[in-house]
Structure 1
């Protein structure tokens, strides 16, 4: 089982990205589970339930757990991930899963996942927040296995320079991959999937199924 942590600021597109990736992996016949974290509500879990269970009918309802952490989002995924680890154990007892996505609550550029909780981490930024974020660094941006720059279709409208963002990301990430995508137009999603399939050794995982 591969545990993929997805984190990033509020509104960057974490939930939409998880929905997209879940559907892609389900098409490949993987069994997918999702754990969402939020400080005050289970809004993201309800949204995923509405989209993937009720509308698209690709995910069983028992494969989604929504956690309300009630405090700093960093704590539940890094300092004390026990709540999330119990949720993963619960999902695993219900179904033999291949991939579990863990979505962090909205957080900042210093947030990371505990290695006890996540095997692979994706940090999501969006261009509407401006093109300054990659060069600001921070553990989430520099240490995540994959940096996703989302909403590139909005870049012209907010004055974000994608070339500068790419240059800055390459500079601070020291060879680790960055994907530039739009989940509205689907631009860049093929490259995103290519990176993930290679990094996660999906061919090897398929061979073990």
Structure 2
């Protein structure tokens, strides 16, 4: 027996949005990366929403809402109330609920960026929360960060080395830092950015389109 056809009034079910985590130490440029990716994906006609995590405020969410880059209703805020990694790894329920809510309110959303609060090199995302996650480090933090082999650096799907323009001003061997990052990650992806000037952002967006949205 054939299944009954859908009534014309029945909306088609949309595929769940891809969920991409963005973590890294305080000041590494996570929010700046989110803002640049919003603009990049708008140009590519990707339906996007954002979740930010802060300890006890909505500071990062308000910054993104005020940016003029995205409908403020598409930006949700989660208050961790504890170590930032708690709500992205140990118990990601609050973030899962926030993502589910965005999908209910915006049925066509294709991609949700989930920015963690600033944390240390051990910060990682639960696979119950994200399909893919990015870890952001910055040149000003020192070229020894890859050598410290923190779980964030080693386990992320994509490592972003931000603030490349600062290398000559902080005594960092950028080429050496990139080479060391690639070595400890055994060749897994590393992209260098300067979010202030949007350098490297297209490479990050290209990577997400290919590996997460499965667009060629």
- The TM-score normalised by the length of structure 2 is 0.88
State yes or no: 1:132 paired with 2:144.
Answer: yes
1:82 aligns with 2:93: yes
Does residue 172 (structure 1) correspond to residue 188 (structure 2)? The answer is no
Provide the C-alpha distance between the structure 2 equivalents of 1:173 and 1:196, rounded to a whole number of angstroms. Answer: 18
Indicate how the Cα distance of structure 1 residues 190 and 29 shifts in structure 2: closer, same or farther if over 3 A, else same: closer
2:186 matches 1:186: no
Match in the other structure for 2:83: 72
**Residue aligning to 2:106:** 95
The runs of at least 4 consecutive aligned structure 1 residues that moved more than 4 Å come to: none
Structure 1 window deviating more from structure 2 (86-95 vs 191-200): it is: 191-200
Residue number among 22, 39, 50 corresponding to 1:23 in the alignment: 39
Does 2:167 correspond to 1:155?
yes
Larger radius of gyration: 2
How far is 1:25 from its partner? 1.2
Once the two structures are superposed, residues 84-130 of structure 1 have per-residue CA deviations (whole angstroms, 9 ceiling, x without a partner) of 11111111110021000101011111111000101010000010111
Match of 1:146 in 2: 158
Q: CA RMSD in A?
A: 1.3
Paired residue for 1:207? none
Report the count of equivalent residues.
199
* Aligned mates of 1:172, 1:109 — CA distance in 2: 14
1:139 deviates by 1.1
Shift of 1:28: 1.6
Q: Cα–Cα, structure 1 residues 12 and 196, in superposed 2: closer, same or farther, change >3 Å? A: same
1:43 equivalent to 2:59? Answer yes
**Do the aligned partners of 1:153 and 1:185 also contact (CA within 8 Å) in 2?**
no
Q: Is the 8 A contact 2:41 2:205 kept in 1?
A: no
CA contact under 8 A between 1:127 and 1:160: conserved in structure 2?
A: yes
Unmatched 5+ residue regions in structure 2? 1-16
Separation of aligned partners in 2, 1:105 and 1:167: 27
Q: Is there any run of 5+ residues in structure 1 with no aligned partner, and where?
A: 205-209
Select the structure that is richer in helix.
1
The TM-score with structure 1 as length reference comes to 0.91
3-state SS, counterpart of residue 19 of structure 2 = strand
Aligned counterparts of 1:154 and 1:8: Cα–Cα separation in 2: 18
Displacement of 1:203: 1.6
Alpha-carbon distance in 1 for matches of 2:48, 2:193: 22
- The aligned residue for residue 19 of structure 2 is 3
